[in-house]
């Protein structure tokens, strides 16, 4: 499979797309490739996962060798864009200080998305390695918005190009669209769980992406799979241990029964997903029995990619 420069990660909320994005970025970095992990107006998952001391903002920071991070906000992207276009700060700062500007960012359809995608385009296309002249970041991994919003997010340049026929907005959207449409440069990777609702929603997303979507479909990830349990863990085989007055044993048996049935349901949904996406394939990532996801857990997952 092609490893494109721009990798957008999306999926239904709660399936672990941020975990997969951080895992993919760490994997690229461990291969010695300078990699940028991008969060969008995030809740600092990246900072917590890599135990970074300071809040991660609009400027890139180094998280680990070869791995950098940035947290994009539309207002900062607008400020940078105006600086690039107008050069002189006093020409645009009064405009940015107006309360109506932030209201405009929230209300204008697609404006936030276009500004953020424009910044990502700039990071991919304009930032160069001073030694080689190639891209400063051979790999950029974007923790994109979830499901429906994620698809609308990536459709924004196409909608803008169709709606605005001339002018700077048209030109900026067209530049972004060109890189999004190139499957050797950009791919959308989807994350799901082996559960009914996430699987159904992911199948709907796949159908949309395969039907005239501006970004090519990349890898499919099934996250948080329980370890396979053989027949020895079947509740019927453990019945002989029931009836004990030991509360710890009873609690353990209840947990084993719940885990057995949940793992069986996962395998059913996983097989349904495999059949529905054939001939596409999916990468399977294990459930990690941890209280939180930090770098050691990401390294475990990275070995599975």
| Residue 26 resides in a domain | yes
Whole-number pLDDT of residue 229: 76
Domain harbouring 75, CATH code: 3.40.50.300
| Residue 241 resides in a domain | no
Closest CA to 222 of 271, 279, 284, 265: 284
Q: Which residues contact 131 (CB under 8 A, 6 or more apart)?
A: none
Whole-number pLDDT of residue 110: 86
* pLDDT values of the chain reduced to their tens digit, one per residue, 305 residues: 568 999 999 999 999 999 999 999 999 999 999 999 999 988 789 999 999 988 999 999 999 999 999 999 998 898 888 777 766 666 667 766 777 677 767 767 788 999 999 999 999 999 999 999 999 999 999 999 998 888 999 999 999 999 888 888 899 999 999 999 999 999 999 999 999 999 999 999 999 999 989 999 999 999 999 988 776 667 766 776 777 777 887 787 778 788 888 999 999 999 999 999 999 989 999 999 988 899 999 999 999 88
Task: For residues 188 and 214, give the distance between their C-alpha atoms in angstroms, rounded to a whole number.
Answer: 10
- Domains in the chain, number: 1
| Residue 261 resides in a domain | no
Whole-number pLDDT of residue 38: 97
Whole-number pLDDT of residue 240: 65
Task: For residues 127 and 286, give the distance between their C-alpha atoms in angstroms, rounded to a whole number.
Answer: 36
Task: For residues 284 and 9, give the distance between their C-alpha atoms in angstroms, rounded to a whole number.
Answer: 15
pTM recorded for the entire structure: 0.90
Whole-number pLDDT of residue 207: 94
| Residue 32 resides in a domain | yes
Whole-number pLDDT of residue 19: 96
The sign of the dihedral angle between the CA atoms of 98, 100, 105, 109 is negative
| Residue 236 resides in a domain | no
| Residue 243 resides in a domain | no
Closest CA to 224 of 186, 188, 185, 269: 269
pLDDT digits (tens, 9 = 90+) for 157-183: 999 999 888 888 899 999 999 999 999
Whole-number pLDDT of residue 82: 79
Where in the sequence is the domain holding 133, given as residue range(s)? 6-227+278-302
| Residue 70 resides in a domain | yes
| Residue 271 resides in a domain | no
Whole-number pLDDT of residue 228: 83
């Amino acid at each position: 499979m092609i490893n494109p420069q721009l990798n957008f990660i999306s999926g239904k909320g709660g399936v672990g797309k941020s975990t997969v994005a951080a895992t993919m970025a760490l994997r690229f970095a461990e291969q010695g490739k300078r990699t940028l992990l991008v969060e969008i107006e995030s809740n600092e998952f990246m900072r917590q996962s890599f135990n970074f001391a300071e809040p991660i903002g609009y400027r890139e920071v180094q998280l680990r060798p070869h791995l950098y991070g940035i947290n994009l906000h539309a207002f900062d992207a607008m400020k940078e864009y105006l600086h690039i276009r107008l050069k002189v700060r006093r020409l645009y700062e009064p405009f940015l200080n107006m309360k109506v500007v932030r209201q405009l960012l929230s209300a204008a359809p697609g404006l936030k998305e276009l500004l953020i995608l424009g910044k990502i385009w700039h990071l991919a296309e304009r930032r160069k390695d001073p030694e080689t002249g190639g891209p400063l970041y051979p790999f950029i991994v974007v923790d994109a918005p979830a499901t429906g919003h994620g698809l609308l997010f990536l459709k924004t340049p196409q909608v803008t190009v169709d709606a605005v026929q001339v002018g700077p907005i048209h030109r900026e959207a067209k530049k972004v669209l060109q890189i999004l449409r190139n499957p050797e440069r950009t791919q959308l990777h989807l994350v799901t769980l082996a559960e009914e609702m996430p699987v159904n929603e992911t199948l709907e997303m796949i159908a949309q992406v395969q039907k005239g979507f501006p970004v090519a479909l990349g890898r499919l990830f099934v996250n948080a799979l329980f370890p396979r349990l053989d027949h020895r863990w079947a509740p019927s085989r453990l019945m002989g241990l029931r009836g004990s007055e030991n509360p710890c044993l009873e609690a353990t048996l209840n947990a084993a029964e719940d885990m057995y049935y949940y793992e069986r349901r996962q395998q059913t949904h996983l097989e349904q997903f495999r059949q529905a996406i054939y001939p596409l394939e999916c990468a399977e990532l294990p459930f990690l029995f941890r209280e939180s996801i930090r770098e050691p857990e990401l390294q475990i997952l990275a070995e599975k990619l």
